[in-house]
Amino acid sequence: MKTFRLILLLSIAAFTLSTMQAASPAVKEVITANVGGFYLPCTGDYLWGEVTIEIIQAQKNGIWKMRNATVLGYLDQAGTIPSGNVYETSQTFPGMDFFMENTAQFRLNGKVVAIFKFQMMSPVNANGEITHEKFTFNFICK
């Protein structure tokens, strides 16, 4: 079943990339983002660290890849008391400028401890102005 899901995800990613490249040249960008103070209720840790994200984008479509990201667990929100836990996650997800949705897994010592659900919406009106923004994420404990 995992192999089927991987093949399906890669097929979707390849289709999205080929569609994007046919419409206009794709732009590749690599960014580093700080993760800081997100509470993981499954283990009681606050997550801190840097993640590297590769973005391939054309027009309003894109694919975001985060590979082998490592974030550290802390006992306090300020990130000053380490718990000793090291979390790993990888994810690839398609998205658009105004809507992204994804699910990822957080692993601790090789075991999935949480499923991460992420959603970002920034709809625009006919004038191209953002009408409102919504950013939600939550963890489902395993």
3-state secondary structure the chain: CHHHHHHHHHHHHHHHHHHHHHHCCCEEEEEEEEEEEEEECCCCEEEEEEEEEEEEEECCEEEEEEEEEEEEEECCCCCCCEEEEEEEEEEEEEEECCEEEEEEEEEECCEEEEEEEEEEECCECCCCCECCCEEEEEEEEC
CA distances from 91 to 74, 88, 127, 131 (A): 23, 10, 33, 29
Mean pLDDT of 15-19: 47
pLDDT tens digits for range 40-54: 999 999 999 988 888
pLDDT tens digits for range 49-88: 988 888 888 776 778 788 778 999 999 999 999 999 999 9
* Euclidean distance between the first and the last CA atom of the chain, given in angstroms as a whole number: 19
CB-CB contact of 69 with 89 (8 Å): yes
